[in-house]
Structure 1
Amino acid sequence: MTYQGAWSKRGEWLELMPGKWLLNQPDRDEATASWLLETMGMPAKLYRKLRHEQGIQWRGDRLRLILFPLRDYGIEPRWQDLHVLYEDDFCLVVQKPAGMAVHPDQQSQETTLNHVVASYYESTGVQTAVRHIHRLDKDTTGPVLYAKNEYAQLKLDEAMREKKIVRIYAAIVQGRVDPGLKVIDLPIGKDRNHGSRRRVSLTGQAAVTHVMSSEVYRAHSLLHLRLETGRTHQIRVHLSHMGHPLAGDSLYGGSAVTFKRQALHGERLWFQHPLTGEEVEVFAPWPEDMSKLQEWIRTSSSR
């Protein structure tokens, strides 16, 4: 359920042209409601809100929806350089650097990616709440998807729940991974002996990681992985449990001698555009430190 026609953003309003057939319906209000909910796929919660706030209007043959109301960022803008990978009026995808959390917690006053995105919005004249759709661990790099309005947030959150947002990761792990390892299907729960760790647990939440490809070197392997679920530390826990902790991941048994963080990078993000349903595929370049690690591993293996 998506919209395939022409659209434009005009201030706070989204203007659509659903066709004159809708204008000619005997009960246009009822027909408009049916079209928005069933054809466009607008979440019922948002439809009721817009209707209550008179945010659904007709102007000639154009249907106008107030999808871009001005909103506080919800977090203090703090400027840092930001690598934007994709952007339109509905979505923003940015590259998260290593050492930066996506959102703040109660214990730290450090600048997070959400602070930086708020600053980017401010600098580009966008006044909307900062809404991340998924997260990455603090020391993991890669793309993070943001919704730039409530409509996009509701649609993308639904896509996450239905496992329709695909995330592909590159991981450099210790040891030679068996090429026959294709799926790790092991539940994950909290580690009672360590507050920040997770572990494989029969009473934990279902967690599935797919191994899409592997390159095996002398003492390391490069894996490309797809998450079917998104448990905390899922890739790190699964690979450590299989005897192949991520290089640099000292929390889960990896050596930090040659690499100072977990060697994990979100390489690719795929999602359907929340309005049009078009496929959006975003590639995130490898960070320099991980590229150097891969080169060192390849060079060492050829000696």
Structure 2
Amino acid sequence: MIQTHRKGDWFEIIVPDKWANFSVEELFRNIWHAPKKQTHSLRMEKRVKVNGQIAVWTVPLKRKDRLEIQFFTEEELTIKPTFYDLSILYEDDHLLVVNKPANMDTHPNSSEQTDTLANAVAFHLQAKGEYRQVKHIHRLDKDTTGAVLFAKHPFIGSILDQLLEKREIKRTYLAIVHGILSTKKGTIKESIGRDRHHATRRRVSPGGQKAITHYEVIDTNHQESISIVKCSLETGRTHQIRVHFSYIGHPLAGDQLYGGNPIFPRQALHAVKLELIHPFTEEMIQCHAPFLDKKEIFTRIDPYRI
């Protein structure tokens, strides 16, 4: 693990052996793949230092050099902070993973909306004296519960966006579906596009975007004719799990938009686990999201064993 510290507005990294002989410029470009605009801004504003001195970006770093980057400056908030008693799964100076409850949007859809997870995260940071923009790296549907990743400053946000695009942030879901699946482990490969006849629905469509869902049945109830399946995604299409299971004849319980029966108070979908390699420390971050509503059928499953 790479040794790091926070010092006020500055983030300090002790240069490890494997970064020796990389210049600061090469580190930003080839290791972190940082956006050119952000890199240029940090360079021009002299917000990168090496051993206490303004960095010379083309000079090779040495083992145990102190690389300092000014990440933690205050920003004007555009999302109104709103109190909510958050369930926080992981937090450090750069990122935050929150367990989203049901019936809550991930982010505002208009400037007037103040009851979203992003508003609550903004309040959480402000209460800690951190006046910075929060950015959701991915989103969950309003009635889907579980782990959501947020970035606490723009630089880490850009890196996390890239990791998500490259599928290096792994998300695991649990879904309750109608029926008993004949195949206990499989993959659904069906492209997904918009439904021309419904504003919010998606549907399997040959002309849609590539969509791949892997699944495994982990529990069944023959009396109620339901199965609990573990899902992981190679693609992140809107409503992907809901559309795919409806297409194969096993819609999610409670998902009336896609043919599910209302035996569940919402679509039965929970983001149970989130995993990534931390971009700065290179440690494995693994978050398990417990079930916030103890009355739901999901509680027969131990989320920490997924």
Deviating 4+ runs (over 4 angstroms) = 19-23, 39-43
CA-based RMSD: 2.4
Q: 1:8 to 1:107 in 2, by over 3 A?
A: closer
The 10-residue stretch of structure 1 (174-183 or 268-277) with the greater mean CA deviation from structure 2: 174-183
- For structure 1, the 5+ residue unaligned runs are 297-303
Q: Secondary structure in 1 aligned to 2:272? A: strand
* Per-residue deviation, 1:73: 2.9
SS at the partner of 2:26? helix
User: Is the contact made by 2:185 and 2:216 (CA closer than 8 Å) also made in structure 1?
Assistant: no
Aligned with 2:140 (options 129, 136, 141)? 136
- Whether the 8 Å contact between 1:272 and 1:278 is mirrored in structure 2 is yes
How many residue pairs align between the two structures? 286
Is the aligned partner of 1:62 residue 2:54? no
Aligned 1:1-303 pairs, distance under 5 A = 4-18=1-15, 31-39=23-31, 42-58=34-50, 59=52, 61-106=65-110, 109=113, 111-218=115-222, 219-256=225-262, 258-288=263-293, 292-294=296-298
Cα distance 1:293–1:134, how it changes in 2: closer, same or farther (>3 A)?
same
The structure carrying a bigger helix percent of its residues is 1
1:263 partner amino acid: A
CA distance in 1, matches of 2:157, 2:137: 7
2:126 is aligned with what amino acid?
A: E
The residue identity in structure 2 corresponding to 1:18 is V
Q: Which residue of 2 aligns with 1:299?
A: none
Identity %: 40
- Aligned CA distance change for structure 1 residues 165 and 39 (closer, same or farther; 3 Å): closer
Deviations 1:196-232 (A, max 9, x none): 1110011110111000333222111110000111111
How far the C-alpha of 1:178 sits from its partner, in A, is: 1.6
Partner-residue secondary structure (3-state), 1:288:
coil
2:119 is paired with a residue whose SS is helix
The equivalent of 2:304 in structure 1 is none
User: Within 1, Cα distance between the matches of 2:233 and 2:2?
Assistant: 33
- Give 3-state SS (helix, strand or coil) of 1:160's partner: helix
Alpha-carbon distance in structure 2 between the residues aligned to 1:101 and 1:152: 23
Deviation at 1:40, TM superposition (A): 5.5
* Stretch deviating more after TM superposition (236-245 or 212-221): 212-221
Counterparts of 2:255 and 2:17 in 1: how far apart (Å)? Answer: 59
Q: Does the CA-based 8 Å contact 1:176-1:220 persist in structure 2?
A: yes
Q: How much does 1:287 deviate? A: 3.0
Does structure 2 retain, via aligned residues, the 8 Å contact 1:74–1:130? no
Q: Which residue identity lines up with residue 46 of structure 1 in the other structure?
A: Q
| 1:281 maps to amino acid | Q
Distance apart, 1:270 and its partner CA: 0.6
Cα distance, 1:34 vs structure 2:
2.8
Decide which moves more: 42-51 or 232-241.
Answer: 42-51
TM-score normalised to structure 2 length:
0.86
Q: List gaps (5 residues or longer) in structure 2.
A: 54-64, 301-306
**Counterpart code for 1:34:** E
SS in 2 for 1:182: strand
